[in-house]
Structure 1
Amino acid sequence: MSFFSKFPRTFWVANTIELFERWAWYGFFMLFANYLTSSSDAGGLEFTQSQKGILMGVGTGILYFLPVLTGAIADRYGYKKILALAFVIYTSAFILLPLFSTFTGVFLMYLYLAVGAALFKPVISATIAKTTTDETASIGFGVYYMMVNIGAFFGPMVTLLFKGSSHLVFYVSAGMIALNFILLLFYKEPHRGKVEQTSLAKTFGDIFRNMFSIVRDVKFLVFLLIVAGFWTMYYQLFFTLPVFISQWVDTSVLYNFFHEYIPFISNNYSPAPGVLDAEFVTNFDALYIIIFQIAVSSIVMRMKPLKSMMSGFLVCSIGMALTLFSQNVLFTLVAILVFSLGEMAGSPKITEYIGRIAPHDKKALYMGYSFIPVFIGSVFAGIISGMVYQNMSDKVVITRQFAEAKGLAIPEGLSSNAYFDNVAQQLHMGHKELTDLLWQQYSPSNIWMVILTIGLGTTVLLYIYDRVIREKA
């Protein structure tokens, strides 16, 4: 405990703010992919997987590109003011987003929400960097990452209770963000160094000059591009896995366990008897991190960031690929554990690595650039979870292909659930029987090879990068 006393009060306030912000974000984000693509009779919007991929990939990518600008703005005009603005945008966006149901409307509202998140992100990560030292940075960012995952775990657990109404899901997130207005009263502005009071135009001019200097730093630019491969793989946890579980994975074993021993879960996290919410299963990633993050951070704290990242990326690659390999939910849970262990070893070290090399008076600016790989990775993750998943693994597409091959006459205008049920009825099969038949004939799990290739390629490139850096050092 004496070690934790080395952190100032602002460190803990910032971590608590992060906790509630992540609670609000993941409370809707974990459910977002299925909300966009699921059947209309289940409260979904029935967007195609490609539309989902474009919306989540590009929208989330822009969210992570904007901190390049917002980080510098925060450095110039003050962290506390930017946080207040972020919370205003966040709250209003969560209230407005469920009022739209067209692709264009949802996309524009998601971009508005992204602006709020982009204002928030570099400020909190810069605050953590400014309130830690070389001695406390590894544990400090481990605590920060654990707070992220406490919020990531409890957010979906709460909003899933209100999944019968998409409006309530978003309103719960709005309420969690609103709590941060109270915490903001206890947030003390970290020392930002000497800051010139300049016009907004000059600030943006400086930003683009800084961007040009980053582009000229080939070594750092290559690092950012390599790490984008990790984020391409990582975002399948939100873009693809909930949809894959909902469409293909048999969760009955886990449902029966909870029904017998913890009926609260089977009663509240189940869309139908014998089935658990896909987001509940995916959320085990956050639970694992809550349990193991401090231990993993303690193990890797003495490792060089690049070494820890390489190990983490390798393990992540295997874990994420395996989550898309089987219909057995217990296999999926073990695969998520493998993925989360790699995530804990690798992901916090990215932020720590950039935080260490950033000049003290430009922490937020450099933390903003730490989101560039996330921007690139999100866009490519959208392609994988959209067009690639739709062509290889989407149950809706596969069912229609199967019905056409069988020459079945299906009524027009059916929801995706009703369409599947109609096919099953005409073949005198149950839901699970037809799902298993499609699994065997169309092999939707083959997408695991795509994910593994991306992850292993990223690990190899980072190894080469580390060797080059070492030889030139």
Structure 2
Amino acid sequence: MSIASVFKKFPRTFWVANTIELFERWAWYGFFMLFANYLTGSSDAGGLEFTQAQKGIIMGVGTGILYFLPVITGSIADKYGYRKVLYIAFTVYISAFILLPMADTFTGVFAMYLYLALGAALFKPIISATIAKTTTDETSSIGFGIFYMMVNIGAFFGPMITLLYKNSSYNLVFYISAGIIALNFILLLFYKEPNRQVNEDSLTTSLSKVFKNIGLVLKDFKFMLFLLIVAGFWTMYNQLFFTLPVFIAQWVDTSVVYSFFHTYIPFISENYSAHNGQMEAEFITNFDALFIIIFQIIVSTIVMKWKPLRTMMSGFLVCAIGMSLTLFSQNVLFTFAAIYIFAIGEMAGSPKITEYIGRIAPSDKKALYMGYSFIPVFLGNVFAGIISGNVYQSMSDKTEFVKHEVMKRGLEISEGLSQNEYFNQAAKAMNMNPRELTNYLWSSYHPSRIWYIILAIGLFAVVALFFYDKLLMNKKA
């Protein structure tokens, strides 16, 4: 059967749902890839100058809650209807994107981000369920392949659009995301509610069943242990958004990339640079999504017949090496290579997690167990927030290092300066230019040591997964 004949079997709602997903991911990653540097960046560049620890709490806890809530919001959608809840989700999304840049205190930003997370949590279970209900056993493989392709296209183009306006105003980044989400109101006119089993229970009864099911899952020691191990993968993965953009902005010299594009493709150097001979950190980080778009089919074909456990272990190991190496060097070409390695591991390991859960779940509880595969994603975000927050601040934060160096030398720097102004003043007081001071701090404080933490988490996940399967499962999978 040809792919063209399979395409004809998809109903209109399948294509509408995929387009909605494309725009939603476009809007989400358009702001989320820039969010870490928005929270911690210098005020004269539009940042809020929060500490790395504050950033870790906002992004870790907030995004973790986003992935915990769908088990509850899914029940709400089943009771009141997908279409109605999608209208509510998009309304919350748009209002949150508009309100978020109006907040500039830790409490205010955290509250607005939690509100935004609610919109995303209302959306997530509905669109996945729609894809599942508009595909069959015959078309599901290609159908979900199309779905994940839409996710990655949105993840790539979202930041590429918002980065064009970052230097004008960070507010525009959020407003653009709000505008992209608003397009989905038009698509909802063509969205037909898929066949679903209407939930006749009261909302209270529905939610009580949800928490009862959570209790059943928590009692399964083997399953919970597996989810805790997999949380190590998600802890690594989220450093792509939580830590890497900040690390590149603070430490990596991207001038060679700027020079290349300035010579051969000046449009990119003009629109994706920080106007100081350096490229935007998020432009570099976004190559992960580009690599996935290019190589996902190839990698999926290679690992298609591999056993899920073997593939996960290989993918997690490659991911750990790639992500740790991105934090190892100031050389941007090294960073590109490390992001590519990370992407290969991500493409190999991530899709196999769901497949493995399906294999180890009790035959009469497969649907229940698959529904709670969000737990490691939730935990991974919380743990990632800790690594990118307190751990990064103590081991790798350039802002902390320069303040310590100023204090150690007994220098007097004016109070009330932005981060960039403070750094430039410090460099001048030490008879260095900003790049020389950055290199001095790199060699003196060794911020790349954080890669040991990332690598250790990945290696622990791989080793733990191996012994988990051999000692507890007593079967090959």
Q: What does 1:62-211 correspond to in 2, within 5 Å?
A: 62-133=65-136, 137-163=140-166, 164-192=168-196, 194-211=197-214
Letter in 2 for 1:180: N
Task: Tell me how many residue pairs correspond in the alignment.
Answer: 472
- 1:179 partner SS: helix
CA–CA distance in structure 1, aligned partners of residues 152 and 297 of structure 2: 12
Contact 2:78 2:199 in 1 (8 A): no
- 1:471 partner SS: coil
CA–CA distance in structure 2, aligned partners of residues 237 and 370 of structure 1: 21
Q: What does 1:440-459 correspond to in 2, within 5 Å?
A: 440-459=443-462
Between 1:463-472 and 1:337-346, the stretch displaced more is: 463-472
CA–CA distance in structure 1, aligned partners of residues 353 and 143 of structure 2: 14
Gaps (5+ residues) in structure 1?
A: none
Q: Please tell me whether residue 24 in structure 1 is matched to residue 27 in structure 2.
A: yes
- 2:394 partner SS: helix
Shift of 1:186: 2.8
Between 1:353-362 and 1:248-257, the stretch displaced more is: 353-362
Shift of 1:358: 8.3
Contact 1:59 1:114 in 2 (8 A): yes
Contact 1:63 1:115 in 2 (8 A): yes
1:278 to 271, 276, 281: 281
CA–CA distance in structure 2, aligned partners of residues 189 and 362 of structure 1: 27
2:234 to 209, 227, 231: 231
CA–CA distance in structure 2, aligned partners of residues 366 and 66 of structure 1: 16
- Quote the residue 1:428 is aligned against: 431
CA–CA distance in structure 1, aligned partners of residues 364 and 392 of structure 2: 43
Residue by residue over 1:378-432, the C-alpha shift from the partner in whole angstroms, topping out at 9 and shown as x without a partner, is 1110000000000000000000111111221111111111111011111221111
Letter in 1 for 2:215: F
- 2:189 partner SS: helix
- 2:53 partner SS: helix
Shift of 1:304: 3.2
- 2:246 partner SS: helix
Shift of 1:206: 1.1
- Quote the residue 1:262 is aligned against: 265
Contact 1:126 1:364 in 2 (8 A): no
Contact 2:164 2:272 in 1 (8 A): yes
1:41 to 41, 44, 49: 44
Contact 2:323 2:454 in 1 (8 A): yes
Letter in 2 for 1:66: L
- Quote the residue 1:318 is aligned against: 321
CA–CA distance in structure 1, aligned partners of residues 368 and 169 of structure 2: 39
Letter in 1 for 2:255: S
Q: Tell me which of the two structures has the higher relative contact order, counting C-alpha pairs closer than 8 angstroms and 6 or more residues apart.
A: 1
| Closer/same/farther in 2, CA of residues 212 and 53 from structure 1, 3 Å limit | same
Contact 2:217 2:369 in 1 (8 A): no
Shift of 1:213: 1.5
- Quote the residue 1:2 is aligned against: 2
- Quote the residue 1:294 is aligned against: 297
Contact 2:273 2:279 in 1 (8 A): yes
Gaps (5+ residues) in structure 2?
A: none
Q: What does 1:322-471 correspond to in 2, within 5 Å?
A: 322-354=325-357, 368-467=371-470, 468-471=472-475
- Structural RMSD (CA): 2.3
Letter in 2 for 1:169: V
CA–CA distance in structure 2, aligned partners of residues 133 and 308 of structure 1: 26
Contact 2:249 2:281 in 1 (8 A): yes
1:249 to 230, 252, 255: 252
Between 1:162-171 and 1:65-74, the stretch displaced more is: 65-74
| Closer/same/farther in 2, CA of residues 191 and 301 from structure 1, 3 Å limit | farther
Between 1:410-419 and 1:365-374, the stretch displaced more is: 365-374
Letter in 2 for 1:183: L
CA–CA distance in structure 2, aligned partners of residues 454 and 321 of structure 1: 10
| Closer/same/farther in 2, CA of residues 460 and 421 from structure 1, 3 Å limit | same
- TM-score scaled by structure 1? 0.94
CA–CA distance in structure 2, aligned partners of residues 362 and 102 of structure 1: 45
Shift of 1:191: 3.0
CA–CA distance in structure 2, aligned partners of residues 222 and 142 of structure 1: 29
CA–CA distance in structure 1, aligned partners of residues 133 and 316 of structure 2: 27
CA–CA distance in structure 2, aligned partners of residues 125 and 470 of structure 1: 33
Shift of 1:470: 4.2
Letter in 2 for 1:237: L
Shift of 1:466: 2.9
| Closer/same/farther in 2, CA of residues 203 and 388 from structure 1, 3 Å limit | same
Contact 1:13 1:187 in 2 (8 A): yes
| Closer/same/farther in 2, CA of residues 346 and 79 from structure 1, 3 Å limit | farther
CA–CA distance in structure 2, aligned partners of residues 354 and 254 of structure 1: 42
Between 1:351-360 and 1:226-235, the stretch displaced more is: 351-360
CA–CA distance in structure 2, aligned partners of residues 60 and 5 of structure 1: 39
Contact 1:153 1:283 in 2 (8 A): yes
| Closer/same/farther in 2, CA of residues 472 and 285 from structure 1, 3 Å limit | closer
| Closer/same/farther in 2, CA of residues 363 and 87 from structure 1, 3 Å limit | farther
| Closer/same/farther in 2, CA of residues 183 and 96 from structure 1, 3 Å limit | same
CA–CA distance in structure 2, aligned partners of residues 118 and 358 of structure 1: 25
| Closer/same/farther in 2, CA of residues 173 and 364 from structure 1, 3 Å limit | farther
Shift of 1:97: 0.7
